[in-house]
Amino acid sequence: MERRRILKTAGVLATGGVTSLAGCSSSGNGNDDGGGPTTTETQETGISGGSNTVMMVTEGSEYYFDPIGLFVESGETVTFEIQSGSHSATAYKKGTSSASVTRIPEGAETFNSKTLSERGATYEHTFESSGTYDYFCIPHKALGMVGRIVVGKPGGPAEEKMPPDGEVPDSQVIVDQGSVSYSDFTG
């Protein structure tokens, strides 16, 4: 537990101690698509981040979330931010967007930022239920743009096998490291 706190503090120090979180935290509006009040598009400048920020990136012909694997405690908020390109952060919950399977814990709230296009646009989601959450980018799902968040401890349907559209780090590796960067995972 203390190790994770230190890693989070180190992440803030690595960015110069500056964090820029835009938007508002909310538990959503109960819509099946997970949209609603948790979605905020903003134009940010300067250093962004904090240890609970996942960047959504287009780099040449690669489309990815960075980090691709992230550990948070129950009740923490994750900010998804556009670094480049147009992307979404959408939970694998059958019936949400183009998800044909459910890969979030039973009873967990789904999330769907829908497609964000402006550099610096953000979407926030607070993760309340413990377990493993796999998610994808709507426009780049077929190209393997998937990610994984472990809340508290691994568990749920995402632990059965890899997502249908790509590979993500093993949940225990995410818990042990706190986060797994895209370059470390693919390198």
pLDDT at 75 over 80: yes
Lowest mean pLDDT among 13-17, 56-60, 116-120, 164-168: 13-17
What's the pLDDT score for residue 133? 98
Q: At residue 11, what are phi and psi to the nearest 5 degrees?
A: -65, -40
Tell me, what's the pLDDT at 46? Answer: 32
Q: Is 145 assigned a ligand-binding role in the annotation?
A: yes
- The answer to whether 87 is annotated as binding is no
Superfamily of domain 2-10+39-186: Cupredoxins -  blue copper proteins (2.60.40.420)
The pTM of this model reads: 0.75
CA dihedral 12, 1, 169, 31 (to 10 degrees): -80
Query: What are the domain boundaries of the chain?
Result: 2-10+39-186
CB 155 within 8 A of CB 131: yes
Is 24 one of the annotated binding-site residues? no
Angstrom distance (rounded) from CA 73 to CA 92: 20
Q: Which tens digits make up the pLDDT trace of 101-111?
A: 999 999 999 99
The mean-pLDDT minimum among 34-48, 132-146, 171-185 falls in 34-48
pLDDT at 17 > cutoff 70: no
